[in-house]
Chain A
Amino acid sequence: MRCQDFQKWISDRLDGNLSQKNQKKLEEHLRTCEACRRYYKDLKRIEDRVRKLPGAELPDQALFEDKLRERLSRVATEPGQEHRISWKPRLAQAWVAGLFLIAAAVYLFFQLRPAVEPEMDLAMLMSYEDSYLTLSQTLSSDENWQKNYNDDILNSIYEDVKAGELVDLENLDIYQEQNNNNNIEDSFLTENMGFPEEK
């Protein structure tokens, strides 16, 4: 081994990083090599001085710890704390936000699109007719009501029916028969809606 290798061992020994076996070899070498002995003494003295150098003290330790505690507490209570550490919860949030936006878009599409007039079928017509019969009976029960509001209400019903398209008007005979039985101005409907007059 060269002196250079032993000098490396001297450095290791100062740090407590040399095996017992190599320490013995080093000691044997130092007994016979003056240059390495001098090297060892110089390093030992420098090391002693270096380790005695004053270490800087933390300025205002109490203030430092108060500030640190406050910052740690803030971090601990921050709701997004976990999210900063992992990207996975963020991805989940993005998914939820995306789904919400899609749902909102679908909702708005159906809400804002132009309303399509429903086609009038027989069931709707029967519904109007039920309302008509109820109203007729109510109006018939009071002479004044009949006098004052009969025409207006009938007109209103007529407008409603007119707004729809009568595409599936079946059982017209039954409808007209019901009107006759209720003793209301049935000619009103037949005239205004184009229903054929009863023969």
Chain B
Amino acid sequence: MNREQELELISRARKGEVEAFMSLARIYEKPIFRLIYRLTGNREDAADLTQETLLKAYVGLKKFRGQSSFHTWLHRIAVNETLNFIKKSGQEKGRLEYLDELKADEAGLARVASPEESSMEEEFRTKLEQVLNELPITDRLTFSLVVFQGLSHAEAAEVLGCSEGTVSWRIHEIRQAIREKLKPYSGELREV
């Protein structure tokens, strides 16, 4: 969908056409869900927060001026919803559910890789997930927006309400920290 088509759907949704908004929701519900899931670590919470995000976007559509992209605007709502949820719930959710799924996925990989490679890959991926999980929430958010969601530094800055330069430096520092934590596994890093 190009920008003109998207603006057309936004315009119709603004007039109260639910199906026009549903077309937009179908495009963005999955990436928004994945972002929220990365931050909360719980499927049900992530699904509920995705619903709230889309509902708030629909209600607040008249406030959307088109200065930023709809994609960025929606991410901003999702981030606000999620951070408020995490703040209210009093703690960051554990990542156990996600790690369990990760292990379940290894069965598929084992069919194409040798047992030794599979074991190294599994160990490295589990460690990588653990390192990402241990990042402070703001770093995890910044990293997720840029690396997983594919937002540019400028777009991430808009979502986070900071400058593009700040995002660039934060991402650089986060990558340095991840590399440091994965140094003990550098063998796997080079060989896998």
Q: A residues within 8 A CB of B176?
A: 7
Q: How large is the interface on A (under 10, 10 to 19, 20 to 34, 35 or more residues)?
A: 35 or more
B173 → chain A, closest Cβ, in Å? 9
* Inter-subunit contact B152/A17 (CB<8 Å): yes
CB < 8 Å neighbour of A76 from B18, B26, B34 = B18
A77 → chain B, closest Cβ, in Å? 9
* Inter-subunit contact A65/B178 (CB<8 Å): no
A102 within 8 A of B: no
Q: Given A7-B172, A59-B43, are A75 and B59 neighbors across the interface (CB < 8 Å)?
A: yes
A2 within 8 A of B: no
Bound together, the chains give a CA A81 to CA B55 distance in angstroms of: 13
Q: How large is the interface on B (under 10, 10 to 19, 20 to 34, 35 or more residues)?
A: 35 or more
A194 within 8 A of B: no
Q: Given A43-B179, A69-B22, are A53 and B129 neighbors across the interface (CB < 8 Å)?
A: yes
Looking at the complex, which of A8-16, A108-116, A179-187 is the stretch in contact with chain B? A8-16
* Inter-subunit contact B125/A68 (CB<8 Å): no
What sequence of 0s and 1s flags, for each residue 46-84 of chain A, a beta carbon within 8 Å of any chain B beta carbon?
110111011111110100110111011101100001001
Q: Taking beta carbons and an 8 Å cutoff, which residues of B are in contact with A? A: 16, 18, 21-22, 25-26, 29-30, 33-34, 37-38, 43-44, 46-47, 50-51, 54-55, 58-60, 62-63, 98, 101-102, 105, 124-125, 128-129, 132, 146-148, 152-153, 168-169, 171-172, 175-176, 178-179, 182, 186, 189-190, 192
Q: Taking beta carbons and an 8 Å cutoff, which residues of A are in contact with B? A: 7-8, 11-12, 14-17, 39, 42-43, 45-47, 49-51, 53-59, 61, 64-65, 67-69, 71-73, 75-76, 81, 84-85
